[in-house]
């Protein structure tokens, strides 16, 4: 759907300066700037308000089992990925056959690409969105979560490698299914919480190779959490993180976070606590630190939020060519964007947008000085004032990185904080969360 777009999100920049002791003090509010406009409107998918049905995570696609990698190209090579049969089996096991499915929460892993590039997901083969889900470099193993809409139980993956043709394997693990609200008691609403760090093993001991760490969540409700893997210890090794099975001592045969030695990687994933409200995370190899930040809970409270899908990922925020600087926090006005969405369907305008669901990507990171290389992290938060003590994405070098998340919105705006250096960022939106007044 191509035409001029009224959406021009604006951002206001808060500057933070460092003293010699690296103490951060808010000092000023800079001028409001307008980002480069996109040229397509965001369009809602033809689905009703949805909620989630958490399942035991299942690996539903792995191109390595065929021995044939997916091809890539500079213009993009698309592959259909069938998930319908696996989802149908899961619904039957839950006693919910025939439930009207709208989408799924998945984890996508790109394995051993022969060239650098990015992967995007879309519901139909004919329209490739200007958005990315996973950014990868040659030889990488990298994962990212995504909430996607499904048409006839399939998604389409397009691999783009700007420097030329290549190949890569893809793995898809399904963590939850989305269905229309009101069709079953199993369909959960989303209860956004104040950002909260549930675990930081840097305050105790790293997780050993083959070891588990137990994370109390304070509730039996499934949660969405941002998990950060710090894999730069002397005894670190290439590893991956899997959710543990509360019924036995074995990890579930899926993964959601991969890192080689020396890397710091983050990914947002859906986790289901046991009867005591605990989740278990398994570290495959080496010694690593793990951080867990709570993002949302899934509840049967019908006053909590519901998911409204876009028909395809949409780039709502882009800083290029004006990167955010060290210690700065920017406020984005999303009023035109959100209003254009809620106006597309009768009754939606009366609802309140509480979050964007999508992908945060960083690009072009530059340390303050090459003499003293730095790392940074970005935090997305909803209200004025200092950012919470959590992170959404960690950047250690000039490599494009992406992390899926739920990004809270208050009064149709959100804030993004950059800890150090300068970096550009983008947010590609797949859905919004709405609450009834």
Residues of the chain with pLDDT under 70: 1-40, 246-250, 437
Q: Do domains 50-180 and 189-299 have the same CATH topology?
A: yes
The span from the CA of 131 to the CA of 119, in Å, is 9
Helix (H) or strand (E) holding 433: strand 422-435
The span from the CA of 315 to the CA of 188, in Å, is 27
Q: What share of the chain is helix, strand, coil (3-state, %, to 5)?
A: 5, 55, 40
Predicted local distance difference test score (pLDDT) of residue 26: 35
Predicted local distance difference test score (pLDDT) of residue 294: 93
| DSSP codes of every residue in 28-94 | EE---EEPPP-SB---B-S---EEEEEEEEEEEEEGGGTT-PEEEBSS-EEEEEE-HHHHHHHHHHT
The reported pTM is: 0.87
Question: Domain boundaries in the chain?
Answer: 10-41+313-435, 50-180, 189-299
Predicted local distance difference test score (pLDDT) of residue 40: 45
- The CATH number given to 50-180 is 2.60.120
Predicted local distance difference test score (pLDDT) of residue 23: 33
The span from the CA of 379 to the CA of 62, in Å, is 32
Q: Is 156 helix (H, G, I), strand (E, B) or coil?
A: strand
- The CATH number given to 189-299 is 2.60.120
pLDDT in tens, 220-237: 999 999 999 999 999 999
């Amino acid at each position: 759907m191509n035409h001029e777009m009224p959406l021009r999100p604006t951002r206001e920049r808060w500057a933070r300066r460092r003293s010699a002791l690296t103490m951060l003090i808010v000092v000023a509010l800079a001028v409001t700037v307008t980002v480069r406009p996109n040229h397509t409107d965001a369009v809602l998918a033809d689905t009703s308000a949805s909620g989630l049905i958490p399942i035991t995570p299942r690996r539903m696609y792995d191109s390595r089992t065929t021995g044939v990698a997916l091809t890539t190209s500079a213009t993009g090579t698309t592959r259909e990925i069938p998930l319908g049969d696996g989802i149908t089996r899961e619904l039957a096991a839950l006693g919910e056959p025939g439930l009207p499915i709208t989408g799924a929460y998945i984890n996508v892993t790109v394995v051993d690409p022969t060239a650098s590039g990015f992967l995007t997901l879309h519901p139909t083969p004919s329209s490739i969105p200007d958005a990315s889900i996973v950014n990868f470099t040659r030889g990488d193993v990298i994962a990212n979560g995504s909430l996607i809409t499904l048409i006839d139980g399939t998604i389409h993956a397009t691999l783009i490698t700007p420097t030329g043709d290549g190949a890569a394997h893809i793995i898809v693990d399904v963590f939850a299914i989305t269905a229309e609200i009101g069709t079953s008691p199993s369909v959960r609403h989303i209860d956004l919480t104040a950002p909260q760090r549930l675990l930081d093993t840097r305050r105790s001991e790293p997780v050993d190779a083959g070891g588990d760490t137990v994370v109390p969540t304070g509730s039996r409700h499934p949660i969405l959490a941002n998990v950060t893997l710090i894999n730069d210890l002397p005894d670190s090794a290439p590893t991956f993180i899997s959710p543990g099975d509360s019924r036995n001592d074995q990890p579930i045969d899926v993964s959601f976070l991969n890192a080689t030695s020396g890397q710091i990687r983050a990914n947002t994933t859906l986790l289901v606590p046991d009867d005591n409200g605990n989740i278990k995370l398994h570290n495959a190899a080496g010694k690593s630190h793990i951080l867990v930040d709570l993002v949302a809970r899934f509840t049967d409270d019908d006053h909590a939020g519901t998911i409204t899908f876009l028909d395809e990922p949409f780039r709502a925020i882009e800083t290029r060519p004006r990167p955010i600087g060290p210690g700065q926090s920017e406020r984005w006005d999303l009023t035109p964007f959100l209003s254009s969405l809620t106006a597309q369907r009768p009754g939606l305008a009366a609802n309140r947008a509480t979050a964007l669901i999508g992908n945060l990507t960083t690009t072009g990171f530059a340390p303050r000085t090459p003499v003293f290389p730095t790392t940074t992290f970005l935090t997305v938060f909803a209200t004025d004032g200092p950012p919470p003590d959590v992170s959404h994405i960690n950047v250690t070098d000039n490599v494009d990185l992406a992390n899926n998340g739920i990004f809270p919105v208050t009064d149709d705006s959100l804030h993004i904080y950059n800890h150090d250096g300068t970096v550009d960022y983008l947010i590609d939106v797949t859905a919004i969360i709405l609450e009834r007044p």
